[in-house]
Amino acid sequence: MKLTKSGNETTRPRIFIVEDEGIIALGLQDMLRSFGYDAYDYEVNGDLSLESILESKPDLLLIDINLQCRIDGIDIVEQLYRVMYIPVIYFTAYSNPETIGRAAATRPCGYLSKPIDENELKASIEAALAGY
């Protein structure tokens, strides 16, 4: 785990989750906390996510591609990158070539398939945080 410094304090990396299924979001939050990360927030409404991400300035974004709203996770990341860069790990139950191509164009740090394997999640997060 990569620790960040804020003044004289060392803090755990903050990970923002965007997932529209509350039970999955809570499960991810529990996993992240068990790894020692601060999963301090999650957003279940993709339409509000961009604003919440910009306000909270997380160290990493863990985002579902398929959201039950007018935009998907890839759209959110594309809009986010116009304003600021945050490392991203996508996760999804769908892995069709078109979706993978759209996601790859945003240069994510990782791409996980649902159901999410705990070990793969932890390794992806560590690699993403080590690179940025």
Spatial distance between the Cα atoms of 111 and 50, rounded to a whole number of angstroms: 20
Which tokens belong to 85? 């860069």
pLDDT per position as a tens digit, 81-130: 999 999 999 999 988 899 999 999 999 999 999 999 999 999 999 999 99
Architecture of the domain spanning 9-126: 3-Layer(aba) Sandwich (3.40)
Which residues are 61's β-sheet partners?
Answer: 16, 88
Q: Where are the alpha helices (DSSP H) in 1-132?
A: 22-34, 46-56, 73-81, 97-104, 118-130
CA distances from 71 to 40, 44, 75, 121 (A): 23, 13, 6, 24
For the whole model, what pTM was predicted? 0.89
**Residue 10 in this model has a pLDDT that exceeds 80:** no
Q: What is the pLDDT of residue 79?
A: 95
| 7 or 57, which is more confident | 57
Q: What is the pLDDT of residue 132?
A: 66
Q: What is the pLDDT of residue 68?
A: 86
Quick one: how far is CA 25 from the chain centroid?
Answer: 11
